[in-house]
Each structure stands twice: as C-alpha cells, then as structure tokens.
C-alpha cells in the first residue's frame, strides 16, 4: 500500500486503465440490458402468441420484393370469415394503419395524433385499461358509430380537469363522442404510447377512406386461446386463408402470418449480438488496463530490487515475495474496477433522470462479472512481475540496488 501511495501518478494512470475497461464492459452490458427491457416492455401488452396477418413481413423473407408488392391487402370480409371459422381463437381484430390527424374540441386542438381504427375485440387482444367510461361494443363497431376512446394526454390537452365523457371532438371533419379514457401508459421506446392516441371504430374510417385506399393499409390481429398449440394454429390459419383466396397447391402464400414470438426472438438475437460485440470491445479496453498494471509492476520490481534482496537475505521466502506483488496488482485491479462500477452507476442514474421514462439497468450479475474480470486481469498482469521478483538472487538483488 505504501508503494502505491508513494507513486501516486503512476498508480492513478494504472487505475485509470482498469477503470475505463470496466466502465466500457459494464456500461455496454447495462445499456443493452436496458434497451432489451424497454423493447420488451413496449410490446409486453401483447402476448407472444399474438399473430399479425398482413401483406407485409416482420422479418427477412425469401419472396422477392417485386412479388411481395403484388400481394393483396387483407380485407374486412377475410377478417369476418376467420372470426367465424377459426377454431381455438380467443379474439381477432381488423385494424387500419392510417396517418396522424389533428383533433379539435371547441377552441382547443392537438396535432399529430395517432388514430387507431380497430374493431371492438382489440380491447381484449391488447388488454387495454379504461379509467373513465367504457370501450365501444360490437354493434357500435360494426355500424361505425361516431364514438371514440382517447388517451390520457389527449384528455388532459383537450379537456383539462373536466370530465371528457360525453363530449364531442372533431376528427375527419366529423364529430365523435368520447365514451372512454385509457389509463396512462408513459412513453414507449418507439414512441408508441396510447397516451397520445385516439381509438375509433374501424368501419367509421372505412366509410371515410373507402375499402381500397392504399394510404390506409389493413391488418388482422389474432390471439389464439391460452394453451393452444400455436404452430398448429398458424398452420390452420394459413390453410384457411389459402382456401378463402383460392390459391393452388403450387402457389406461394400471398400474405404473411407474422408472430410476435418471432419478433421477440429477433430482438433477443440482436441484443445478444450487441452484448457480445460490446463485451468484446470492452475486453480490449480492460486488456489495455491490464498492460498498464503489468507495466507498473515491472517498474515496481525494478525500483524495489534492493528491498527484495534485503527481504530475502533476512529469510523471506519466494512465496512471500510472490504474494506481495500479486496483492499489489490485485489491489490496483479491484480499486480500478470499483471506480469503474461507481462511474457506470453515476452515468446510469444521471441518464435515467434526464431521459425520464427510459430506465438504465445496472444488474448485480453484470457487476459481479465486471469485478471478476477486473480481479483476474490484475492477477494475470501481476503474476509474471511477481514471479520474476520471487526468483531474484538476494546477493545480486542487493548489489543491483546499490
């Protein structure tokens, strides 16, 4: 400890190398873990078995682009057919993806509002929570009734503290009655929070846009019964669609059955790869710190050659000398690791405060592995200088020092 204190600048530079290495590794792992948690949290309201039936694919596909562009959109009639004929189906909803709109209430207005036109079963698929009023029912959904369910921020922006239920907002040049307000969700990673959205019956939008408007591409969201065989369900769904569309056995599917499970697996693969790449880069930083420790230990052995000779002349064994320098290298690595962990914690805490809804995670497992690698680097970096010190001849060591 005295040797480390007496060479403050050299000790500081060695600590800095290990600190940067640990900060890099733990920082990358914490960022990846946080990103993964945020992504999965953003899609947690949907069950992994949820299926999206549309003419687009969630992931890579072998079907060429020119052919995919010729695929027809799913239709409301196909949704009704599947709703009637699919076994083991808990719920299905027909959805239109449309551009954002401006909504108004008296002299108040909100721009760039996400409009979600869906059938009434969407409430069960996404497990929405209503804090005021209710969701629209099947008759209102089928008839395209002028009703709407709004997000928390929309309610606050248009109505403030007053009760929005029963009031009429204007959208698409029509007046819609507010019948429900969604529970506040907070901003998701992709900005997909329903706090700034309005949900309306899909048939109301179909009346406005028409059935063949390319600016509003449709999808069918399907949720199988809990405990059902999902691959078997997907196979039955595919066959139902092929039969309805009259596809021949040698023709490829002109639609995509996208599973949310496949999307989450894709996310897991991405985050896993990011963790490996980040850890690999961080290990290089830690190795640089290890070389710094090895360098300071070689210099320390050189400076204390005379002292080593005196210690050995007084009866100090090789093991004592070896452990003395190994302990010094390990102390450098451990303190450097602790400082690196402290810096990661401070950065994570500060980033969480600045970003608000995005929470950075510093897991105990990452901290453990970081400190383990730091200690191992210290041992490895110090073992050769320590071994050389323990092998010195006492007479030659004292003479070299003199």
Please list, in sequence order, all residues whose beta carbon lies within 8 angstroms of the beta carbon of residue 93, skipping any fewer than 6 positions away: 79, 118, 119, 120, 121, 122, 125, 220, 221
What local confidence, expressed as pLDDT, does residue 47 receive? Answer: 58
Spatial distance between the Cα atoms of 116 and 201, rounded to a whole number of angstroms: 8
Share of the chain above pLDDT 70, in %: 87
Residue 131 exposed, middle or buried by CB count within 10 Å (0-12, 13-18, 19+): exposed
Residue ranges with strand state E in 106-234: 108-118, 130-133, 147-150, 168-171, 174-182, 197-201, 217-224
Helix (H) or strand (E) holding 306: helix 305-313
Please list, in sequence order, all residues whose beta carbon lies within 8 angstroms of the beta carbon of residue 75, skipping any fewer than 6 positions away: 211, 218
What local confidence, expressed as pLDDT, does residue 329 receive? Answer: 78
Spatial distance between the Cα atoms of 257 and 261, rounded to a whole number of angstroms: 12
Per-residue model confidence as pLDDT tens digits over 54-105: 988 877 778 888 888 888 889 999 999 999 888 888 899 999 988 888 999 8
Give the pair of three-digit tokens for residue 237.
């769904």
What local confidence, expressed as pLDDT, does residue 349 receive? Answer: 78
What local confidence, expressed as pLDDT, does residue 150 receive? Answer: 93
Spatial distance between the Cα atoms of 15 and 381, rounded to a whole number of angstroms: 13
- pTM given for the model: 0.60
Among 232, 243, 221, 262, which Cα is nearest to 61's? Answer: 262
What local confidence, expressed as pLDDT, does residue 219 receive? Answer: 92
Contact yes or no for 255/53 (Cβ under 8 A):
yes
Report the sign of the C-alpha dihedral through residues 120, 122, 126, 128, in that order. Answer: negative
């Amino acid at each position: 400890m005295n040797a480390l204190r007496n060479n403050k600048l050299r000790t500081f530079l060695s600590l800095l190398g290990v600190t940067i290495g640990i900060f890099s590794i733990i920082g990358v792992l914490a960022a990846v873990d946080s990103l993964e948690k945020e992504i999965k949290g953003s899609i947690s309201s949907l069950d992994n078995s949820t299926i999206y039936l549309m003419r687009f694919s969630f992931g890579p596909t072998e079907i060429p682009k020119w052919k995919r562009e010729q695929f027809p959109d799913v239709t409301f009639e196909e949704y009704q057919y599947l709703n009637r004929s699919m076994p083991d189906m808990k719920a299905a909803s027909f959805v239109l993806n449309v551009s954002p709109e401006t909504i108004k209430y008296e002299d108040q207005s909100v721009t760039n509002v996400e409009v979600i036109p869906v059938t009434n079963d969407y409430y069960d698929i996404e497990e929405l929570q209503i804090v005021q009023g209710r969701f629209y029912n099947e008759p209102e959904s089928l008839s395209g009734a002028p009703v709407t369910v709004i997000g928390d921020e929309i309610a606050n922006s248009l109505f403030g503290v007053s009760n929005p239920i029963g009031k009429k907002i204007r959208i698409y040049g029509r007046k819609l009655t507010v019948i429900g307000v969604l529970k506040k969700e907070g901003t998701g990673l992709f900005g997909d929070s329903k706090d700034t959205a309005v949900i309306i019956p899909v048939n109301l939008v179909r009346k406005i846009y028409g059935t063949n408007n390319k600016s509003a591409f449709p999808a069918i969201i399907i949720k199988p019964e809990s405990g059902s065989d999902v691959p078997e369900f997907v196979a039955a769904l595919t066959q139902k669609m092929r039969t309805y569309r009259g596809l021949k056995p040698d023709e490829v599917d002109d639609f995509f059955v996208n599973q949310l499970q496949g999307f989450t697996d894709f996310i897991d693969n991405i985050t896993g790869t990011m963790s490996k790449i980040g850890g690999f880069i961080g290990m290089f930083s830690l190795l640089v710190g290890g070389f710094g420790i090895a360098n300071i230990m070689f210099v320390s052995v050189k400076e204390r050659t005379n002292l080593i000779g005196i210690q050995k002349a007084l009866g100090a064994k090789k093991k004592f000398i070896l452990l003395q320098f190994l302990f010094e290298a390990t102390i450098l690595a451990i303190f450097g690791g602790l400082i690196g962990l402290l810096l990661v914690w401070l950065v994570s805490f500060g980033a969480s405060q600045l970003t608000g809804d995005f929470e950075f995670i510093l897991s105990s497992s990452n901290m453990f592995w970081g400190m383990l690698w730091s200690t191992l680097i210290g041992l490895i970096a110090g073992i050769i200088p320590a071994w050389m010190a323990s092998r010195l001849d006492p007479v030659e060591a004292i003479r070299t020092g003199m």
